[in-house]
Chains A and B, each alone.
Chain A
Amino acid sequence: MKYVDEYRDAAAAEFFRKAIHDTVTKPWTLMEVCGGQTHSIVKFGIDELLPKEVEMVHGPGCPVCVTPLELIDKAIEIASRPNVIFCSFGDMLRVPGSEKDLLMVKANGGDVRIVYSPLDAVKIAQQNPEREIVFFAVGFETTAPANAMAVHQAKELSVHNFSILVSHVLVPPAIEAVMSSPQCRVQGFLAAGHVCTVMGYTEYEPLAKKYNVPIVVTGFEPLDILHGIYMTVKQLEEGRAEVENQYARSVRKEGNRPAQELVSRVFRVVPRKWRGVGEIPASGLGLTYEYEEFDAELRFNVADYAADEPAECISGLVLQGIKKPHECPAFGTRCTPEHPFGATMVSNEGACAAYYRYRRHLAKTATA
C-alpha cells in the first residue's frame, strides 16, 4: 500500500533507531499525544527498540477514553428508547458506563448500529423517516469536520429526524492540562498528526514557548514515530524547544482551511469534562445556535446526567502520563478488557488495553 508500506520498512526503522541511540546522552521523557500512536508503538514494539534513556508516556489522545462517564450513560439512555436508531463508531460500543455499555443495550434489543462515517447515519435517517436517528459524535479535531458536514448536510436536506450526541474534545487544552500538572515529567511531545492535518500546528507554538518543550507533529507508522522521536530527542539534546513537522506529507502549517471553516460554523468551543481528569475549560466542542436543533442532549432531555467514576480506576493518571497501566493494582486482574473499569482498558488504543494485549508479561515479571 503506497504511503503506508514504505513507512514500515525494517531497514529504515533500524536507521532511525540507531540515530536515536547515537543522539541520546541523557534520560528524556516524551509523550505521544495520540492513541493511534500509542497503538502503533505497542503493536510494532517500537518502545522495545528505544534506548533506555528515552521513556515514552502515553497521552490523553484517545477521545474514546476521555469521554466522560455521564455521556456514555446519556448514550445508553437514548439508545434504549424504542424509536431510536443509535449510530456510533465501533470504538464506543464497549466503553463502560455506570452500569452497562452500548453492546449490552444492543443485546437487550436496542437498535444500535456501527457506521464507518457520520454520513452513513444521515443516510439511515433519510431511509427511516418515522424513526429518530442519533449519531454519537465522538472525536478530536480530526473527526470534527466529518461530524460538522453530517449536521450541515442534515440541515440542508431537511433531515429532521437526525441528531448528534456531541463529545468532541480539543488537543491543545489537554496538553496544557498535562503540562501544568505538578507531577508532570514530560519534556517533549509528539503531536497528533491527523489532528494537525485539520488544525495545522500554529496553536502549538505558544505552548512550546510557555513550557519550553519541543513539540513534533508526528505520523502513525513506525517510521513516522521513530523519526518523530528522533527529531524530539535531537531538539532536547540541542536545548531547543520548537514546533517541527515530521508528518509533512499530510500536515500543512495552516491545516485544512475549508474544514476549519465549517467546523467553526457548526461547532463552538465549550468547557468539557474529561473522564478521569475533570473539567478543562475551553476544551471541547458543542453545537452552535444555528445547528442547535440537532443536539441530541436537548432533543432527548438528558442534559442533566451526572455520574461517579469507580474508585479504583486510575485511568486519569494513565491518561496524563503520570502512571503506567501495569502500575495499577487492578491491572490484568480485576480490570481486563473483558471487565474494564475505565475506558483506557476498553478502547482499542487506550494505554491499558494496549499494554494488556501486548505487554501483559511485563506485569507478570514485575510482580514475580
Chain B
Amino acid sequence: MCLAVPGKIISIEEADGTFRNGRVDFAGIVKSVNLSYVPEAKIGDYVVVHVGFALSIVDEAEAHQVFDYLREMGELSELTEQAL
C-alpha cells in the first residue's frame, strides 16, 4: 500500500502553520503538495509524498550509503553511477 514518491521541493508558500503548501517536482511533473507534516523542509529538499502530503524528508546521507558501498564493490551499472 502506500504509494509514496520522492519529489523535489521547488517553492513553498507559508500560509499559517497548519496549511503549509509547496510545489514539488517529480521528474518534470509539478504538483501542489501539503508540507504541514515536514515543517523543517526547505526548497531543494526531496520529500516522500503520499496522496498530496509530504511525509518525510529524504535523508540523502542514508540514501547514498548503500550506493557508496556498492560502488566500492564495483557492483553498480554505469548508468546508475553516472546518475548518482
Q: Which residues of A contact B (CB under 8 A)?
A: 1-6, 9-12, 14-15, 34-36, 61-64, 89, 116-120, 139-140, 142-143, 145-146, 149, 152-153, 156, 192-195, 197-198, 223, 227, 248-252, 256, 258-259, 349
Give chain B residues whose Cβ lies under 8 Å from the Cβ of A6.
67, 80, 83-84
B43-71 contact mask (Cβ, 8 Å, vs A): 1 or 0: 00010101111011011101101110010
Q: Tell me whether chain A's interface is mostly helix, strand or loop, or mixed.
A: helix
The answer to whether A256 and B80 have CB atoms under 8 Å apart is no
Supposing A149-B36, A192-B2 touch, asked if A117 and B52 sit within 8 A by C-beta, the answer is: yes
The answer to whether B2 and A146 have CB atoms under 8 Å apart is no
The answer to whether A197 and B1 have CB atoms under 8 Å apart is no
The answer to whether A194 and B59 have CB atoms under 8 Å apart is no
The answer to whether B8 and A2 have CB atoms under 8 Å apart is yes
- How far does the Cβ of A216 sit from chain B's closest Cβ, in whole Å? 14
The answer to whether A118 and B80 have CB atoms under 8 Å apart is no
Ranked 4 nearest A-B pairs via Cβ:
A117-B52, A194-B2, A142-B2, A249-B63
Supposing A12-B76, A142-B1, A143-B50 touch, asked if A153 and B18 sit within 8 A by C-beta, the answer is: yes
Q: Which residue in A14, A140, A152, A223 is a CB contact (below 8 Å) of B2?
A: A140
Give chain A residues whose Cβ lies under 8 Å from the Cβ of B19.
153
Give chain A residues whose Cβ lies under 8 Å from the Cβ of B62.
248-249
Bound Cα distance A6, B78 (Å): 11
The answer to whether A15 and B73 have CB atoms under 8 Å apart is yes
Q: Which residue in A10, A139, A227, A256 is a CB contact (below 8 Å) of B77?
A: A10
The answer to whether B80 and A5 have CB atoms under 8 Å apart is yes
Q: List 11 A-B contacts (CB under 8 A).
A: A2-B83, A3-B6, A5-B83, A9-B76, A9-B80, A12-B77, A89-B51, A149-B18, A195-B1, A249-B59, A259-B37
Q: Which residue in A12, A34, A117, A251 is a CB contact (below 8 Å) of B51?
A: A117
The answer to whether B37 and A116 have CB atoms under 8 Å apart is no
Bound Cα distance A323, B77 (Å): 38
Supposing A259-B37, A349-B1 touch, asked if A197 and B55 sit within 8 A by C-beta, the answer is: yes
Bound Cα distance A191, B62 (Å): 18
Q: Which residue in B1, B38, B56, B76 is a CB contact (below 8 Å) of A61?
A: B1
Residue of A5, A139, A146, A250 ringed by the most chain B CB atoms within 10 A: A250
Give chain A residues whose Cβ lies under 8 Å from the Cβ of B2.
34, 36, 139-140, 142-143, 192-195
CB nearest neighbor in A for B80: A9
Bound Cα distance A2, B8 (Å): 9
